[in-house]
Chains A and B, each alone.
Chain A
Amino acid sequence: MAEPVLEVKGLSFRYIQHHDQQGDSEAISNVSLRILRGEWVALLGRNGSGKSTLAKLLAGILSPHGGEILLHGEPLDMDHSRRSDLPIGIITHHPDDHMIGTTVQDDIAFGLENRNIPYDEMKHRVEEVLERFKLSPYRHHDPSRLSSGLKQLAAIAGVLALKPSLIILDEALTMLDTRSKLEMIDTLRQLQVSEAITILSITHDMNEAAAADRLFIMESGTITASGTPDAIFKLYQELEPPLGESLRRCLLHKGRKVPSKYMTEEEVVDWLCTSPSKTLRQITS
């Protein structure tokens, strides 16, 4: 497959609470991972397992105490937060953190302006994302007065307008209702294919995680497992699997004959609606 966009080697970090306090535990300890171009990976773990800290380290909001981060094979300066052209975009679950402009379109243009993008190009990109996220009707609205869901969309649009090579979604879809969430997952999938953007999403939502190509499990500051959704949900029985797989397991539990492999929602629906018993029932009825 493609070359790695991001490589992390032996990364560690600790929050220092008091200069005299002993035994601050490591929030991130010896984390190594590699994300390929055009890949969608999801990071799962309980509250406090270090997911957001890792995201902040990658995005340059925090500086690691050990290890290195390579972007396109180049090691990042530990002061990389100062490099304004860093092609990593991060979106958190507090959309208010992202809002600066007085209107939605100004807000989206803010990042572009700061990167010295020529005016025509900037205009073009703003229009493009407004269109893509159906935000055109809100372009002149004050972002702080939008609903949380729309704010979140505007925040995502603002980051995508910068065309980052990696976007980090730190529970960025939690504010969206189910339908907008599914639409957003679809949009991201399209972007993944058409523009080869690379996505790292941190989530508690297993249906969102199931959209990823690969999952990482984080526990107490380290990555304890990685693999396809299929493999991870098989390995970690305590994780509540996405709906499709839940239904398959439940039917299996009830003694029904079901395919023995992991199934996505679409696969389960397909299987249910084309299984022989169904055809038989239709014939007999």
Chain B
Amino acid sequence: MHITLEDVAADYKLGPIRHADVLVHVQAVFRDKALTAVIGHTGSGKTSLLKVLTGLITPTQGRIRVGDIMVDAQDYSASHHKAIRKKMGLVFQYPETQLFAETVEKDIIFGPMNLGVPEQEAKEQARELAIKVGLDPKLLAASPFSLSNGQRRRVAIAGILAMKPDILMLDEPAAGLDPAGRKDILSLIMNWHREHQLTTILVTQDIDEAACYADEMIVMSEGTVVMQADTREVLSDPELLRAYNLESPRVRVLQEKIEYRAGIKLPRVCITIEELASALIEAGLV
């Protein structure tokens, strides 16, 4: 499902008069069926962007279009925003802290049952989802609080997927996990995205991660979108990234180092070590 933001602004009320602008003149497009990463420094407005999309904060200016529904700040309709919201599944930062039911199964079926799915059907679905996200179905009867952090996070993600969103949004889904755990969670999201052709928005501070998984990137700085392009295009200009306080992915930094020392220019931006090795071989450096 295609999402467009036109000149969107939003702020947090600090009191009756004062407010803090969190989003200003945001222009962005999230392409249908693409995985778009939103990157930016801490405090650049990444999370606020997700909040305004899902209606957790109201836009003060501009238009948001999701599929054929539109929310216009000038002529604000809460019911439109709600309609948009129903299409979205948002996995918050540290989602495992939001689990509350006595069992894993109850936690996963909570969302769908609120949407009117019959209990039996929701339970069957929960079982399938548990397997899909890499949880042993035996754990369905366990308390979510007896699980490890990585497992809890899978439960939280399963709970969102159970509501069958048209758009999946994830705010730092791998934060706080060890490298193996990070990889597991991200490949789980990647597989789901590919298999279901789901429009996915991944908010992350980790540019290495964004580089590996995203088709497109949106770069945010000081509350606005400063760049939006294909992943490799965004990464092709390290100077520009630096201007927004972002570092290039590590492999790209290594590539630059080699290019500088050897006085050559490799024909393309390398994101993985594999790509860098191939490019070096092609260039005749090894």
Q: Which residues of A contact B (CB under 8 A)?
A: 46-48, 147-149, 177-179, 204, 206-207, 240, 243-244, 246-247, 250-251, 254, 256-258, 265, 269, 272-273, 275, 277-278, 281
Contact = CB atoms under 8 A, between A and B. Distances in A.
B178 interface: yes
Given A48-B148, A251-B286, 4 more contacts: A47-B181, A178-B250, A256-B281, A275-B285
A243 B281 contact: no
Contacts of B207: 178
B274 interface: yes
B55 interface: no
B277 interface: yes
Interface in B235-285: 245-247, 250-251, 253-254, 257-258, 261-262, 273-274, 276-278, 280-281, 284-285
A-side interface mostly: helix
Contacts of B148: 47-48
18 contacts: A46-B178, A47-B150, A149-B42, A177-B245, A177-B247, A178-B250, A243-B254, A247-B273, A254-B277, A258-B286, A265-B257, A269-B258, A272-B258, A273-B258, A275-B285, A277-B284, A277-B285, A278-B284
B262 A47 contact: no
Contacts of A250: 273-274, 276-277
Given A177-B245, A272-B286, A273-B261, A47 B278 contact: no
B230 to A, nearest CB: 22
A281 B284 contact: yes
Interface string B39-53: 001110000000000
A1 to B, nearest CB: 31
Nearest to B148: A48
B142 to A, nearest CB: 16
B17 interface: no
B103 interface: no
B271 to A, nearest CB: 13
A256 B205 CA distance: 35
B179 A254 contact: no
B115 interface: no
B93 interface: no
Main secondary structure of the interface of B (DSSP, over half): helix
A247 B247 CA distance: 20
A203 B258 CA distance: 27
B286 A243 contact: no
Given A243-B273, A250-B277, A272-B285, A178 B247 contact: yes
Nearest to A271: B286
B177 interface: yes
B273 A47 contact: no
A243 B42 contact: no
B60 interface: no
Given A254-B277, A269-B257, A269-B261, A275 B286 contact: yes
A48 B149 CA distance: 9
B286 A277 contact: yes
B180 interface: yes
Contacts of A257: 286
B253 A178 contact: yes
B71 to A, nearest CB: 31
B261 to A, nearest CB: 4
Nearest to A238: B180
A148 B42 contact: yes
A254 B281 contact: yes
Contacts of B253: 178
Contacts of A177: 41, 205, 245-247
Contacts of B149: 47
Contacts of B150: 47
B282 to A, nearest CB: 11
A240 B277 contact: no
